[in-house]
């Protein structure tokens, strides 16, 4: 009887951490992306950001479906998103093209990361149901990541425009319906 109760408690603890585990996988994939940028393997970096987006999508769904949402989960999700959709895509684009612009390329890279952090902090202290204020960092990071595929086809200054535009959209005040 005691063993069954202990097993039941263990299963409940694991169930209650399922969404957080998916969030940690998202964070880990973002970290792998950064490591691959440091190694110069930019296509693997892109691959890991795409995987992180899949896990990011599922952590919220699982949390709501299992009714295990928490303040800790919300904060953990934002910190993970900053890594996977702020730092990783910005470093990917910096390494691929923005590095060629010297200090302005570095500044625009940092602006993207900072605007993503502002966007996430603002989200964490707001109570907007059914919509986001500004472009979600996941969308901004994914768009920036996908733009990497165009590095060989469009001119470098366009990437400066892309990263700055996405940065401004993340901290803007327009409403985006949650899907």
- Counting every residue written for the chain, the total comes to 179
Looking at residue 86, its pLDDT comes to 98
pLDDT given for residue 68 in this prediction: 80
The pLDDT value recorded for residue 109 is 98
Give pLDDT < 70 ranges for the chain.
1-2, 4, 6-8, 10-11, 128, 179
Domain 2-177 fold is 1.20.120
- pTM, entire model: 0.90
pLDDT, residue 60, reads 82
Domain spans, the chain: 2-177
């Amino acid at each position: 009887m005691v063993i069954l109760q202990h097993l039941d408690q263990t299963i409940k603890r694991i169930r209650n951490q399922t969404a957080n585990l998916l969030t940690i996988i998202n964070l880990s994939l973002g970290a792998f992306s950064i490591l691959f940028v440091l190694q110069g393997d930019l296509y693997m970096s892109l691959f890991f950001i795409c995987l992180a987006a899949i896990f990011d999508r599922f952590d919220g769904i699982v949390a709501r479906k299992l009714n295990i949402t928490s303040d800790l989960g919300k904060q953990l999700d934002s910190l993970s998103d900053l890594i996977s959709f702020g730092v990783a895509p910005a470093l990917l684009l910096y390494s691929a093209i923005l590095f060629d612009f010297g200090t302005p390329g570095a500044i625009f890279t940092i602006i993207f990361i900072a605007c993503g952090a502002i966007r996430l902090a603002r989200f964490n202290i707001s109570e907007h149901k059914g919509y986001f204020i500004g472009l979600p960092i996941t969308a901004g990071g994914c768009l920036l990541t996908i733009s990497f595929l165009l590095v060989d086809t469009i001119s470098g200054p366009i990437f400066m425009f892309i990263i700055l535009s996405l940065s401004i959209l993340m901290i803007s005040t327009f409403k985006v319906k949650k899907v």
